[in-house]
Every structure is written in C-alpha cells, then in structure tokens.
Amino acid sequence: MSRAARFWIVAALLAVVGMAFRVSWNALKDVAGAIGADPTAATVYPLVVDGLMALALVAVLVLTGADRRFALRVLVGYTIASLVLNYVHGLVPTLHGPGRMRLAEWAPAHWALVLLASSLPVGSIYFGSDLVAKVLHHKPEPAENTQNMANRSGSDLPGSADPDQIESVYESADPLPLADPIPAPAGPTPARPVRAVAALSDRPRRATGSVPKSARTKVPARTVEELLAEARSVTAGWPDAELNADRIRTTLRTSPARARVLRDALKAERLDAARPDLHAVPDAAPVEGEAPAEQAS
C-alpha cells in the first residue's frame, strides 16, 4: 500500500472517531447537567469518560503482561459506562433542558445512575494517573537488531560459518585412500568463491551424542581356540572352587555360552593332569631251573 493511501485511510478513521466523540459529547454533557454539574463542568465532563477511554486504549497498545490486562479492564469498564449514559440520554428526552432532573422513574435505578455518573470523574483521576505512571515506567524488552547480528564475528554466532567443513565425530581419523583417483579436468579449472572455513583443532573432538552402531569400531570376534588359550593363562592360578563360568565370562568378556564351554574344557584338562599315568608292568624274572615261558612253548 502506498504512503498516500495509508494517509487517507488514517485521516478517514480519525474523522469517524471525531464525529462519534461529538455525538457522545452531547449525551454526556446533558447527563452531567442533570446530576447538578455547572455549565463548565458539564462541558468538560465528556473528556472524563471518553478521554480516559482513549488513554486506556493507548496503554493497552504499549503495556504488556499484568499492566496490559489492567489497562484493558479500565477500557472495557469506561466503555460500558459511556454506553449506559448514552442509553439513558436517549430514553429521557427531558435531559436536554437545563437544571437537575431524574435519570429514571424508579428510585433505585435513578440512584444507581447518579452514583455511576458521579463516580466516573473520581475513577478517571485514579485510573488515569495509574495508567500514565505505568506507561512512563514501562521498559520494552530489547529486541536484537539484525544489523548487530550481521556485524558479530563468526566465533560469536550460534552456528559455524560453514558446517560442511567441520570434522565429524563419526568419521575415521585415517580414512582409506581412494582406489582410483579422479582425473583432473583437461581444461582450466573455474575459480570457486572463497568461503570462510572454521579452524580445525588438533585435539580430538569429544562426541556429544550416542554413536550409531554403524559407526562404532568393530571388535574382531575371537575363536574358541583363542579364548581357550587366553583362559589357560588367566586361570592358571585359580583354585578349582573358583573356576566357574560367571568369573570366566567377566574376566574374558565373552558370552555366557562360551564361558561354560571354556569352564568345561579347563576342568577336563585339570582332571586329565591330575590322573596318574599307567606304566607297563615288567615281566617276572624266571626261577632257576625253569625255562622261560617262550622257550617252554
């Protein structure tokens, strides 16, 4: 929308508000004269009601939080009061005349309307002063300027200047070389724009999250023979009472099934080592005068 169009829209809205204020001015002036106000007081009485409504509207647009809700309640309350007084002015045609008059035929309604019209100036003093103090002492929240963000250095920014150049914690420290290097183009290499690259540190980066299984270092699986050889050296000084599958599993860091296999194998080896060897019994020497068994046969 152009600036001229905005100007004419604002001017039209101000004209409508001014005419509405003039209509309400007449009704509130007559009501003020009916409750005993002098001509000067009756002339400025509409400013007490409608003027505070305008001030409360500005406060609603400026304040925040609980102060804004307070200004909104003041705006709604004085709007309802002005509407009631304008309604009474339309119901009682005699209010246009000078002098004190009754606002309603029913006495309680008349007393309530007089109390409402009389309390509005006092309320304007209190609520108007409070709203002005709140607006003057209001401190808006500082919004960070986009120009300041642009002037900040790369180390102060929340993100890196080029996240693609940051070393990943999941990449290998020594990547495998390519089998077939890509040949360089025959023609002149086009110049590429220089981008800011974050400085790489020689210190190893600490992973800030859980490493996926695909990126974890794979530990080579040990065979049963390798585990048995390792178990022999580890359990050489263990007594037979402590040679159990659970201790073997925790010491060698293997599965419970393999730990039981290793336990059975080690116990069998110890049992074979403890069993005495069976030696061959030599033949008895022949008695004198008796031929050997082979010659007798």
The Cα–Cα gap between 48 and 116 comes to: 13
Strands (E), 64-158: none
Block means of pLDDT (10 residues each) for the chain, 297 residues, are: 84 84 85 87 90 90 92 94 90 71 82 91 92 87 55 51 50 51 58 58 61 66 83 84 85 86 87 70 56 51
**Distance (Å, whole) CA 17 – CA 21:** 6
User: Can you give the pTM of this predicted structure?
Assistant: 0.46
* H or E element at residue 154: none
Tokens, residue 162? 């080029």
Residue 297, pLDDT score: 44
Per-residue pLDDT at 231:
84
pLDDT at res. 177: 52
Residue 66, helix vs strand vs coil: helix
Contact assessment for residue 151 and residue 144, using Cβ atoms and an 8 Å cutoff: no
Q: In whole angstroms, what is the distance from residue 7 CA to residue 242 CA?
A: 96
